[in-house]
Amino acid sequence: MTTPQPNFVYKILPNTPVYQGTPIPVPPSWIFPQTEVDAKDGFIHMSTAAQLPGTLSRFFGTDETVQLLKIDFKRLSSFKIVKWEKASNGDLFPHLYAQLEGEYVRELKVVGKSTDEKGWEASVETLVQDGFVEE
């Protein structure tokens, strides 16, 4: 059984000086620096729209803001090696085994964590309503 491929996947970056210098709009030739975890694991971790709340809560729970990259998955997977691999929670996540260049990024948005009890989940719900987060 094959799972339908999403139109978009998302890369979460810490909103730190290393990434704050990214020009907006992102130039096609821009190469995003790898995060420490990505460099250690040998691939770029990405998430689907449905996986975003869990990924944000688990790995960015104490961050007040992050940078969220909306990536054209169909285009990316046509030109780069993307593998769906099982994470420790059993879910399949998209992993990019190449550099991430600006030409695959549809949009970059700085996102703040909601101050209510739902935190990142509420923030993602707002991004879905706004049309930024979609499958």
- The CATH number for 67's domain is 3.20.170.20
Residue 29, SS3 per DSSP: coil
Return the closest-CA partner of residue 124 out of 135, 115, 113.
113
Q: Model-level pTM?
A: 0.94
Q: Is 110 part of a structural domain of the chain? A: yes
Dump pLDDT digits (tens) for 89-131.
Answer: 889 999 999 999 999 999 999 999 999 999 999 999 999 999 9
Range of the domain at 110: 8-15+30-127
Q: Which residues lie closer than 8 Å to 40 by C-beta, 6 or more apart? A: none
Burial class (CB in 10 A: 0-12, 13-18, 19+), 102: middle
Q: Is 25 part of a structural domain of the chain? A: no
Dump pLDDT digits (tens) for 42-87.
Answer: 999 999 999 999 999 999 999 999 999 999 999 999 999 999 999 8
- Number of domain units in the chain: 1
